[in-house]
Structure 1
Amino acid sequence: MSPEQFRRDLSVLTAALQARALDAGLRDWLNSSHGPGSPTFDALRQACEAGVREGWLCQREGGGIRYGRIFKPADDLHGFSVDVVDMDSIAGPHHAHPNGEIDLVMPLDPGARFDGQGAGWVVYGPGSAHSPTVSGGRALVLYLLPQGAIEFTKA
């Protein structure tokens, strides 16, 4: 896997996301069509694990969290930016999602959960905010942000 192949794979997914509202319906569709056990989930998980192992993902570290924005918003990604974080039983900085946020949760430890969710997709609508929290072990989380919009805030 390379960053270029990862980008091509994500482009196919973001094409299907670009016209959809970021809401519970999208979460349900993602989990039924691209959730755990699906070819999409398996390919993204393998790519993220390889990227972390090979050093082209999660190149930064702060506050006990490894993270990094691998792709800025772009036309081929249908306006989404792509970030991946590696968290182990920790809460991240509080932030708001002006345009929403789509997260793929990939537990590396069996009991790991992201904001209470195990393996699968989480969708936060426009204007939502949270302190992203991984409990019960280590997980990778892929973030898709429309137009890359994120605002770090106080809880």
Structure 2
Amino acid sequence: MSKDSFHQLVADLTGQIAGRPLDQDLDQWLNSQHGAGSPSFEKLRQACIDGVAEGWLCDREGGGIRYGRVFKAEDALSRFSVDVVDMRDLAGPHHTHPNGEIDLIMPIEGDATFDGRPAGWCVYPPGSAHRPTVAQGRALVLYLLPEGQIKFTQ
């Protein structure tokens, strides 16, 4: 999977969620339409696995987390930025989501969970905060951030 093909794959998804509130309804819709086991989930999961293997995803490392911003927020992505992290049994840095956050949880080893959630989607509303935690294995997590906004706690 090329970076351009990945961009198109994500743009197809962000086009479907553009303008929707980041709330429980969106969480449920994403899991029903694009949840674990669906063709779109499997395409995104395989694209992320391939991107990590090819070195253009998760090209940085710090604190035991491989990570990287793949795309900045832009109109073609409905003003979402795209980040992917690779985590195994650890908690990342605490941060807030001024505009919310949409996460795609893709277990790679074991029955990995992200913030206690299994494979699938997790939507955090605007103003929420957390310390992202992967437990019970290794997972790739794709983050969609409206306008690329994230604030790490000091």
Interval of TM-score (by shorter of Structure 1 and Structure 2): over 0.9
The aligned residue for residue 137 of structure 1 is: 137
Letter in 1 for 2:57: L
Displacement over 6 Å in runs of 4+: none
Aligned length: 154
| Secondary structure at 2:111 match in 1 | coil
Q: How does 1:12-23 map to 2 (within 5 A)?
A: 12-23=12-23
Structure-2-length-normalised TM-score = 0.99
Instruction: State the alpha-carbon separation in 2 of the partners of residues 99 and 106 from structure 1.
Output: 23
For residue 24 of structure 1, report the CA deviation from its aligned partner. Answer: 0.5
Per the alignment, residue 44 of structure 2 pairs with: 44
**TM-score normalised to structure 1 length:** 0.98
Where structure 1 has 5 or more consecutive residues not aligned to the other structure, the ranges are: none
CA distance, structure 2, for counterparts of residue 95 and residue 110 of structure 1: 26
Measure how far apart 1:110 and its partner are: 2.8
Counterpart in the other structure of 1:25: 25
Q: 2:89 corresponds to which letter in structure 1? A: S
Name the counterpart of 1:147.
147
Match of 2:69 in 1: 69
Mapped pair 1:101 → 2:123: no
Let me know the Cα RMSD of the aligned residues: 0.6
Identical columns (%): 64
Q: Deviations along 1:104-134, whole A, 9 cap, x unmatched?
A: 0000123210000010000000000000000
